[in-house]
Structure 1
Amino acid sequence: MIELGGIRWSLHPLLAVLMLLSVLTGYIGELLTLFVLVFVHELGHAAAAYAFGWKVLEIRLLPFGGVAELEEKPGAPAWEEAAIALAGPLQNVWMAGAAWALGAGGAMDAQLAAYLVQANLLLLTFNLLPIYPLDGGRLLRFACGLRMNYYGTLRFSAWAGMGCSLLMIGYALLPQLQRGGSGGVQANLLAVGLFLLAANWTYRKQIPFLFMRFLMTRGRSAKRRIQAGSRARPIVVTGRHPIWTTARLFLRDHYHLVYVMDDPGRIVGVLPEQRVVEGYLSGDRAVSDLLR
């Protein structure tokens, strides 16, 4: 592990093994080229994160790409996360375009240019798969957050990531299943699928912590929206509704007012979302208790 520009850079042990094998088998040039492409991809994430005031804690280089560990800016809008996620794949777009142009113009060996185009498109396609922590998984979370509450977005993206990882594992094992056990297994794809499945399983287990962190930062974002005069998005619940399920209805990029109604349908009180957050943190009760 090294520290460069305030960011920890680390190599996955399997990547180190692959580099050693590449030296022994004569494919070190191809691996180093892929390493540089991944490095530039991750630099795109880091530059965008710094531009928005996010902190990049660590970038881990894996056999199939890289993963940037970010410390989210408190109360940051979801579109910033989407922009940071897109900043990586955009590096592969311009590198593929540059390689194609140089190859077509004769300034680069045609075979090398074709390899660079193919490698960049492969990294671009892979990173846009809707599996967290890949860029596509982060973009899926952003897209879901446009319509779904934040808690539901976390759950959906975790389950979608696990489902897609299982499909990847199944595809890797397909030759073995199709040929009655005589076919080969796509070992690289299988290893990646297992890694992503484990990552999303861990991500799913962390949802309560992620949701608590979301609530803890609501105060700052709420203050900013109130000062800017933004519209509040209403949430309507009965007085018997639990506080914890009410808090789970919050959307990431909206400020909420909670309307509490009695059984005949009369409004008996209106709660700002900060009051609901305070009630959530102080213990499980009914929403009507917050009106007293």
Structure 2
Amino acid sequence: MIRLFGVRVRLSPLFLIVILFAYFGHVLDQVAILFAVVIAHEIGHIFAAHRFGIKTESIELLPFGGVAVMRGRLGFDVREETLIAAAGPFVNLLFVIATLPLRASGVLSEAWTNSFVSINLSIALFNLLPALPLDGGRIARAGLALTRGYHSATKVVTRVSFLVAVVLMGIGGISLVLGYADLGIFALGLFLLYSAFSLHRQSRYETLRFLDALRHQQMATPRPIRSMLAQEDMKLGDVASQFSPGAYHVIYVQSTYPKEPRPVTQDEILDAIFESSGWTLPLRALLS
């Protein structure tokens, strides 16, 4: 088991297959560059997460990046999520910028520079696709969650992930038919398809994790209040699924009787969900 800054690192089977093909194809030098670039990409995420007090427990390295397991409030703060996700591609772009003047001065060969720049740009651009669990998908979800809520934002980006996966698999399949034999794109599409199915199955669990983090979030700074209007027979879980990161929610419950809507706070709803198993309870249960 490799350790990087105290983080457990392991190679995915897909990366091991790439190394095997590279060995028989006599291109191990290219894979060595790829390995170094992927490691640097993940170091960017590790340092950015550490900056916000989020611990990275382990990383699985893939040929196009890595899948990090982090513990903390990752994903539940828009600014933090965006900066941590962008840190990986940012490192790749920094490498490209630093390499060009070295090539111009003759320090690096043209062949090595072209390979290094191509690998960095490929990893950066692929990771910025708006599909989970890629960096671009995390950034897209963080942005959408501000207005649509965390649960809805996750569902939208998961649908986009399915679409991106199908497109990549289609491109890979067409390339095989045309004789280009590029399994890489097809494999990336297959990985995203598997990830999208996993996210779809775990959507309720992800929402509960977000709501639990929201419930225990300390208000070190003032937060904007987000007001919502809901019918009294609406389930608490359906209401909480519309909660957004970075805001405090006040729900005005519209009764069937002709009277003013009564406000119910975010804390009341979350306490009922987690302490009384109230996910399916109607809002009227909090009015009595």
Taking structure 2 as the reference length, the TM-score comes to: 0.92
Amino acid at match of 2:20: L
Q: Which of 189, 194, 198 matches 1:198?
A: 194
**Alignment correspondent of 1:48:** 48
- Is 1:236 the counterpart of 2:229? The answer is yes
Residue identity over aligned pairs, in percent, reads 29
- Give the C-alpha shift of residue 274 in structure 1: 1.0
1:1-292 counterparts in 2 under 5 A? 1-73=1-73, 76-175=76-175, 183=179, 185-221=181-217, 223-224=218-219, 228-263=221-256, 266-281=259-274, 282-283=277-278, 284-292=280-288
Q: CA RMSD in A?
A: 2.0
Could you tell me how far apart the structure 2 residues matched to 1:219 and 1:203 are? 22
Could you tell me how far apart the structure 1 residues matched to 2:6 and 2:82 are? 23
Equivalenced residues, count: 285
Could you tell me how far apart the structure 2 residues matched to 1:75 and 1:30 are? 34
Could you tell me how far apart the structure 2 residues matched to 1:74 and 1:40 are? 20
Could you tell me how far apart the structure 1 residues matched to 2:164 and 2:72 are? 26
Answer yes or no: is the 8 Å Cα contact 2:15–2:62 preserved in 1.
yes
Write out per-residue CA displacement over residues 149-203 of structure 1, whole angstroms, 9 at most, x where no aligned residue: 1110111111111111011111111245xxxx66455322111111110011101
- Give the C-alpha shift of residue 48 in structure 1: 0.4
Answer yes or no: is the 8 Å Cα contact 2:145–2:245 preserved in 1.
yes
Write out per-residue CA displacement over residues 80-131 of structure 1, whole angstroms, 9 at most, x where no aligned residue: 0110001000111110111111001222222212221222111111111111
Could you tell me how far apart the structure 2 residues matched to 1:189 and 1:32 are? 20
Could you tell me how far apart the structure 1 residues matched to 2:222 and 2:143 are? 25
Answer yes or no: is the 8 Å Cα contact 1:46–1:56 preserved in 2.
yes
Taking structure 1 as the reference length, the TM-score comes to: 0.91
Write out per-residue CA displacement over residues 207-233 of structure 1, whole angstroms, 9 at most, x where no aligned residue: 111111111122222x516xx443321
